[in-house]
Amino acid sequence: MDSNMNNRDFVGYFPIADGRRRDAELFGAIEDEFHRQQNQIELIASENFVSMDVLSALGNVMTNKYAEGYPNKRYYGGCGYVDVAEKLAIKRICELFNCRFANVQPHSGAQANLSVLYALARPGDVVLGMGLAMGGHLTHGAAPTISGRWFRSISYGVTEDGFIDYDQVLRLAREHMPKVIICGASSYSRRIDFERFREISDSVEAYLFADVAHYAGLIVAGLYPSPMNHAHVVTSTTHKTLRGPRGGIILTNDASLAKKIDSAVFPGVQGGPLMNVIAAKAVAFEEALQPEFKKYAKNVLENSIVLADRLKELGLDIISGGTDSHMSVLDLTRLSITGKVAEMELEEVGITCNKNAIPFDELPPSQTSGIRVGSAAMTTRGFGVDEFVQIADLIHRVLANYGNPNHEVIKMDARMEAANLCRRFPLYNT
């Protein structure tokens, strides 16, 4: 942070002094959220901390600009400068993924996924995606979403040992002849065999659509397989391991699909793009092109493996027995504690994570038998292997002693230890 700035008046780069006077409740909540982020160990696998540059790009005058359409083909005048931002974002993300076409306008991963289905399929077509409890995402065909309501959704899952059941994918594909096969996941920690998915898709003449929201940062750093040469279309969010602002992107190497996707995003699914967010995406993509980002991604992976290994060493069960990515899913069944309770217990000691269904879960999504943990956010804060071992010890101490008469004392100690760790690695060095 600029040394002339006063910490009391800035939350990140966000000037709150005037706002606090005018609207204490709202600006107080922003300030409180800043301190929550500063003081808690963030293990939500889909979250990260953006750089100061991304944060300041988000709050810029491009938010004032309507720019329906695409660069050089807008439905409003005055779009010259926002065109520069969008073209930069497109050029940079294409370079990162080594692909030919990108749409950087989706407001989120869900909007990106909806746009792809809108471009590739018609209501009633069969869509084959990974089941929600198996690790898939809501937008991959789950019943309460458009993807589950407008399409005939069929789900595949994992084998007993927690790895994607490719034989099942093939069997279901042959049986149901999907128009689109979706691969990619929200809580699958292992490598996805995109080549095998493409072989299956080709065998039934389906489109292959890969949603790599979770793995994007690892992919661009060369640490996780890229779907780019296998999938017809790839989507991602920009805010997880890629460490940009919240938002979505759609990528393809196919010119005719790129045209369809552009029409599906606008005017199909969205109106005016959020040009300030697109500017912030361009900033984040430039950061991800730097050698430091590769180093960051390597640390994310190393820390995640250390966390999973240490949790296992302490006797906790990890779905599939380990991880190849930034996340792991813990099966709490043997501890007789639900994901919901574990999430609350950990939050009380200053560790944030989320309850998560495990494959073949018998509990409803509001309870679940697991939690998901990720390393992307705290690696950004500077946590290394030692700190992730300490986190594993804290998680184990809190969860394994649930119901123990000394539990509250154990939690009090854990809370102090977590707070000390956070103090050593300040958010934005404030």
User: Which tokens belong to 390?
Assistant: 């300490």
Is residue 68 part of the annotated active site? The answer reads yes
104, 138 Cβ separation under 8 angstroms = no
Tokens of residue 303, six digits:
């820390």
Q: Of 102, 352, 304, nearest to 189 (Cα)? A: 304
d(CA 122, CA 126): 9
Is 352 catalytic? The answer is no
For the segment 373-412, give every residue that binds ligand DSN (CB under 6 A): none
- Catalytic one of 47, 68, 193, 254: 68
The answer to whether 195 and 333 have CB atoms below 8 angstroms apart is no
Backbone angles phi, psi at 285, to 5 degrees: -65, -40
The DSSP annotation for 68-81 comes to -EETTEESSS--HH
Shortest Å distance, C-beta 428 to ligand DSN: 23
Q: Which is nearer to ligand DSN, 253 or 304 (CB)?
A: 304
Residue number, nearest CB to ligand DSN: 46
Q: Is residue 248 a contact residue for ligand DSN (CB under 6 A)?
A: no
| Residues between 10 and 69 that touch ligand DSN (CB under 6 A) | 46
Q: Minimum Å distance from CB 186 to ligand DSN?
A: 4
Residue 333 is which amino acid? T
A 10 A CB-CB count for 227 gives 27
- Spatial neighbors of 278 by CB under 8 A, at least 6 apart, are 62, 82, 85, 86, 89, 104, 105, 247
Pairing status of strand 351-352 against strand 41-42:
parallel
Residue 137 touching ligand DSN (CB under 6 A): yes
Is there binding between residue 235 and ligand DSN (CB under 6 A)? no
Tokens of 311: 């949790």
User: Does 186 engage in binding with ligand DSN (CB under 6 A)?
Assistant: yes
Residue 345 buriedness (CB in 10 A; 0-12 / 13-18 / 19+): buried
- Catalytic site includes residue 240: yes
Nearer to ligand DSN, 44 or 94 (CB): 44
Report the chain's terminal Cα–Cα distance, integer Å: 7
Total residues binding ligand DSN (CB under 6 A): 4
Rg (CA), the chain: 22
CB of 59: closest distance to ligand DSN in angstroms?
24
Catalytic residue from among 145, 237, 323, 380: 237
Q: Which is nearer to ligand DSN, 31 or 343 (CB)?
A: 343
**Exposed, middle or buried: residue 419 (CB in 10 Å: 0-12, 13-18, 19+)?**
middle
Nearer to ligand DSN, 106 or 109 (CB): 109
**Catalytically annotated residue among 211, 262, 361, 387:** 211
The SS3 assignment for 285 reads helix
Active site residue 211: yes
Nearer to ligand DSN, 137 or 260 (CB): 137
Query: What are the distances in angstroms from CA 63 to CA 272, 294, 329?
Result: 10, 31, 38
Q: Is 339 in the site for ligand DSN (CB under 6 A)?
A: no
Q: Of residues 92, 179, 240, 340, which has the active-site annotation?
A: 240
Rounded to a whole number of angstroms, the minimum distance from the CB of residue 354 to ligand DSN is 7
Q: In this complex, which beta carbon is closest to ligand DSN, that of residue 67 or of residue 110? A: 110
From the list 13, 66, 166, 402, the catalytic residue is: 66
Q: Which is nearer to ligand DSN, 111 or 369 (CB)?
A: 111
Contact between 207 and 181 (Cβ < 8 Å): yes
Residue whose CB is less far from ligand DSN, 173 or 185? 185
CB of 137 to ligand DSN, least distance (A): 6
CB atoms within 10 A of CB 415: 16
- Interface with ligand DSN (CB under 6 A), residue from 69, 109, 131, 136: 109
Check 190, 243, 246, 372 and give the catalytic one: 246
Does 368 sit near ligand DSN (CB under 6 A)?
A: no
Token pair, residue 150, equals 């407008």
The residues that are catalytic are: 66, 68, 211, 237, 240, 246
Q: Which residues bind ligand DSN (CB under 6 A)?
A: 46, 109, 137, 186
